[in-house]
Amino acid sequence: MRVHAFRMQLKPGMAEDYKARHDAIWPELAALLHEAGIRDYSIFLDEATGALFAMLKLTEDATMDQLPSHPVMRRWWDHMAALMEVAPDNQPLEWPLRPVFHLP
């Protein structure tokens, strides 16, 4: 498995709504992510800045690159757009993070 880590940005005052929506993640979205080869997905919040740090593992045959065209993914992005920094199509803006240390 390979690891993918990235940063996203919440809008001010949206942390509780963001957490509540993820606590109630749609079953069809969770299934879609799993089918795309995503495993062990975590998102962490830096409360001082509103920065979100996400880390997930991808199976060798992962199809994560196909998710942006899936209707369930598009609906989720639309559902989350008011809470975070997004592109014009509501895809969350994402800044990749470069690995600098790993302790197995």
Active-site hit among 4, 22, 34, 70: 22
Question: In terms of DSSP bridges, do strands 51-58 and 2-9 run parallel, antiparallel, or are they unpaired?
Answer: antiparallel
**Which tokens hold the place of 63?**
């199809």
Q: Are 86 and 93 in contact (CB under 8 A)?
A: yes
Task: Judge whether 22 counts as a catalytic residue.
Answer: yes
d(C-alpha 42, C-alpha 5), whole Å: 10
The residues, any chain, with a CB within 8 Å of residue 19's CB and separated by 6 or more, are: 45
Q: Phi and psi (nearest 5°) for 93?
A: -65, 140
Catalogue the active-site residues. 22
